[in-house]
Amino acid sequence: MQRKPTFCLLQPRSYPNRLSLVIPVYNEEAVVPLLRHALQQFTRELQGEAEVILVNDGSTDLTLQQIVDWAREDDHVKVVNFSRNFGHQIASTAGLDYATGDAVVLLDADLQDPLHVIHQMIARYCDGYDVVYGQRKARLGETWFKRLTAWLFYRLMRTLVHKDLPVDAGDFRLLSRRCLNALQQMRETHRFLRGMVAWVGFPQVGVQYERSQRAAGSTKYTLKKMGAFAWTAATSFSILPLKASTLLGVIVTLIGVEEAVRALLAKMFHWYVVPGWTSLTVLVSIIGGATLISVGMVGEYIGKLYEQAKNRPLYVVSQTLNVSPVSRADVEPRLKAVGKQ
Ligand code: UDP
Ligand code: MG
């Protein structure tokens, strides 16, 4: 395997004593039985202990009942039940908050992220890497539209926003305990976990895999959710869109100056033949448009500041199952302490 140059000295580690598998679930009744079967097999292959943290993100189907039944039969399975749907990124955050393992793997419920890749991730973790992200070399069974938008998304985000963001890597990744502790200090409301993990730093490396088809059910990422996700990714990390609106303002002002000079010269040298109705209309609409774009852009950020200023908890948990009071007592004061900062 090739080694990536890194700015930290790699310190080999021992195999994780406990591995936490964090899985957000939202209306996944078709998938849960398959997931359960696959995970039961997979955890037997591990050399250490495993815990599975299932975060039910306000499912409206039989998902909750299924995972509760599962957890009642297996106390390595922990359930965190949200009071409503908070979205994938927040559900993942909650799962990470409740994880107690030395290393944590974040994955989707639909088995699109093959479990056997986790063995490779653990091997890189033992080499000393703190973040091992899955990098998709092929996407099976996804529409050309999804593939095109994903391709564009990663390239745009990398050039415009996060230079360290690995391309074609989703949330399927392994995090070390120290990376997770750093990530937990970041309690921002608008979350783009991959960007946040890139921000945390530490030695990071990718393992390539083929992303399979969804085992059952359909995608929970609607076009609207995808759009909102991309927008959060672009605006939660950078003020580039604000700068872009300033640039637009500058360009429009330059056009305005050019038009003004032209009008003055026309008046001085009597060039004026036709009343300048067209140019006037064009100018007014360009300036109006640019002003509105800029104001809207500022508004987006003010909205984000407003949301953040409310300082609400990121999620509300209605029940937990198999979550020991020890780990809960561990999670809550830590989160409160973070909230006070
Ligand atoms: N998910 C969630 N809350 C949501 C949407 C999705 O917890 O509001 C979960 C979903 O159950 C799955 C994971 O997030 O485990 C990824 O969703 P999906 O597979 O639908 O996304 P895709 O792979 O199509 O991008
Ligand atoms: Mg999926």
pLDDT, tens only, 288-301: 778 878 888 888 88
Q: Which has more confidence, 118 or 260? A: 118
Ligand nearest to the CA of 223: 1
Q: Name the band, by pLDDT with cuts 50, 70 and 90, for residue 5.
A: low
Q: Which has more confidence, 171 or 256? A: 171
Q: Are strands 77-82 and 131-139 parallel, antiparallel or unpaired?
A: unpaired
Give how far the C-alpha of residue 245 lies from the chain's centroid of Cα atoms, to the nearest Å: 25
What ranges make up the beta strands (E) of the chain? 18-25, 49-56, 77-82, 103-106, 131-139, 169-176, 204-211, 317-321
Give, for ligand 1, the residue of 29, 88, 106 to mutate: max count of ligand atoms closer than 8 Å to Cβ.
Answer: 88
pLDDT at 31: 95
Whether 316 shows a pLDDT value over 70: the answer reads yes
Give me 279's structure tokens: 């140019």
Confirm if 134 and 172 have CB atoms less than 8 A apart: yes
Rounded CA-CA distance 109/94 in Å is 15
Please give the mean pLDDT across all residues of the chain: 85
List, for residues 63-84, the tens digit of each pLDDT value. Answer: 999 999 999 999 999 999 999 9
Q: Name the band, by pLDDT with cuts 50, 70 and 90, for residue 139.
A: low
Q: Which has more confidence, 6 or 39? A: 39
Q: How far is the CA of 222 from the centre of ligand 2 (A)?
A: 12
HSE toward the beta carbon, residue 76, CA cutoff 13 A: 15
Rounded CA-CA distance 238/302 in Å is 14
pLDDT at 341: 37
HSE toward the beta carbon, residue 224, CA cutoff 13 A: 1
**Which protein residue has the closest C-alpha to ligand 1 atom 14?**
88
pLDDT at 94: 96
Q: Which atom of ligand 1 is nearest to the CA of 226?
A: 25
**Which protein residue has the closest C-alpha to ligand 1 atom 17?**
220
Q: Which of 133-147, 151-165, 171-185, 233-247 has the highest mean pLDDT?
A: 171-185
pTM of the model: 0.79
CA distances from 27 to 106, 109, 129, 340 (A): 18, 10, 34, 34
HEC sequence for 210-279: EECCCCCCCCCCCHHHHHHHHHHHHHCCCCHHHHHHHHHHHHHHHHHHHHHHHHHHHHHCCCCCCCCHHH
Q: Name the band, by pLDDT with cuts 50, 70 and 90, for residue 339.
A: very low
Strand, coil or helix: 294: helix
Give how far the C-alpha of residue 217 lies from the chain's centroid of Cα atoms, to the nearest Å: 22
pLDDT at 325: 65
